[in-house]
């Protein structure tokens, strides 16, 4: 009623554009296929464990998947902010060098956030899981870490999905995800049968590393012409300040050997301070500093501080 009465929308069924419908259907099918395969990819592990092992391992692995899903949500929130900019660059047919530069910029920002979470979980995840899940779920920590490490690769590159969609090239990724998903099920069944729940996590980890770590990066480099070599060179530089922050916290953990919540909270605060100070001075470039500096300056001017 609102559309017809106020927006004055009118439908014309006389001029049916079959070619446009075909193009939309082709595009939508592969987006739909990707969504379905992604859902199945994160569910088959629990299904296989339910067949081969039992409810206990299914409960453990469900928590692993839940933590990995939380981890994924942070990356998607960041890439969503830059999606319109990336789509605009592709739609305007900007040079691939400019698109590649934006790809690297966004990925670096994602990596700064994701690396903070990943290293933080590596340092404090065992204590967190023991309080969060309780006794009997100790395997959640190493299994989650085993998956989160290769999972970081697609999470810091998911703005590349926007490039594929804007260029209408998402077919390759959809088919790749389907093949990797089938391979993951086969590997998952064999490895779970032999090694139990650890084998299930290994199959997921290997599938992520093979599909998104190697094959999709190859496609970005060969077909899309993104500068993947420069990408990894720029991204891996950010690992240095993160490693330094982790080493400083580990030294403190050795000197003060305690798993009490107060000590863990202090260590977490120390890690956060070390991480962001070292990342600000040793890792971030001017573009990344401005993503923090400019909003803070605008906020200060709005609330009246000089």
CB 198 within 8 A of CB 143: yes
* Separation of alpha carbons 130 and 136, rounded Å: 9
* Separation of alpha carbons 279 and 148, rounded Å: 21
pLDDT of residue 216: 93
pLDDT of residue 305: 58
* Separation of alpha carbons 225 and 100, rounded Å: 8
| Mean of the per-residue pLDDT values of the chain | 88
pLDDT tens for each residue of 193-248: 989 999 999 999 999 999 999 999 999 999 889 999 999 999 889 999 999 999 99
Q: How confident is the model at residue 304 (pLDDT cuts 50, 70, 90)?
A: low
Please, what is the Cα angle at 89 between 86 and 94, to 5 degrees? Answer: 145
pLDDT of residue 149: 94
pTM of the model: 0.86
- Given a cut of 90, whether residue 30 has pLDDT beyond it is no
Least confident of 165-169, 185-189, 192-196: 165-169
pLDDT tens for each residue of 46-79: 889 988 888 888 999 999 999 999 999 888 877 7
CB 57 within 8 A of CB 49: yes
Residue with more model confidence, 101 or 17: 101
Q: Percent of the chain, pLDDT > 90? A: 42
């Amino acid at each position: 009623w609102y559309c017809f009465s106020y927006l004055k929308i009118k439908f014309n069924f006389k001029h049916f554009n079959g070619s446009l419908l075909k193009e939309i259907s082709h595009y939508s099918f592969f987006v739909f296929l990707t969504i379905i395969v992604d859902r199945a990819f994160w569910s088959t592990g629990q299904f296989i464990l339910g067949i081969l092992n039992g409810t206990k391992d299914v409960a453990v692995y469900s928590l692993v998947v839940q933590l990995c899903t939380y981890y994924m949500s942070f990356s998607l929130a960041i890439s969503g902010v830059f999606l319109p900019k990336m789509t605009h660059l592709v739609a305007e047919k900007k040079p691939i060098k400019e698109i590649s530069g934006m790809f690297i910029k966004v990925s670096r920002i994602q990596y700064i956030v994701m690396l903070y979470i990943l290293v933080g979980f590596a340092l404090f995840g065992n204590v967190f899981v023991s309080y969060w899940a309780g006794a009997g779920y100790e395997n959640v920590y190493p299994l989650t870490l085993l998956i989160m490490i290769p999972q970081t690769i697609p999470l810091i590159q998911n703005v590349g999905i926007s490039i594929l969609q804007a260029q209408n090239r998402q077919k390759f990724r959809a088919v790749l995800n389907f093949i990797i998903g089938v391979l993951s099920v086969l590997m998952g069944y064999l490895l779970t049968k032999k090694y139990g729940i650890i084998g299930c996590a290994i199959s997921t980890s290997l599938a992520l590393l093979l599909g998104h770590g190697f094959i999709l990066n190859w496609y970005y480099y060969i077909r899309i012409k993104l500068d993947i070599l420069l990408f990894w060179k720029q991204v891996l530089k950010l690992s240095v300040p993160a490693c330094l922050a982790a080493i400083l916290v580990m030294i403190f953990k050795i000197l003060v050997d305690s798993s009490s919540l107060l000590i863990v909270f202090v260590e977490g605060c120390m890690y956060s301070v070390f991480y962001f100070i070292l990342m600000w001075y040793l890792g971030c470039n001017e573009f990344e500093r401005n993503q923090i500096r400019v909003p803070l300056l605008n906020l200060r001017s709005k609330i009246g501080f000089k």
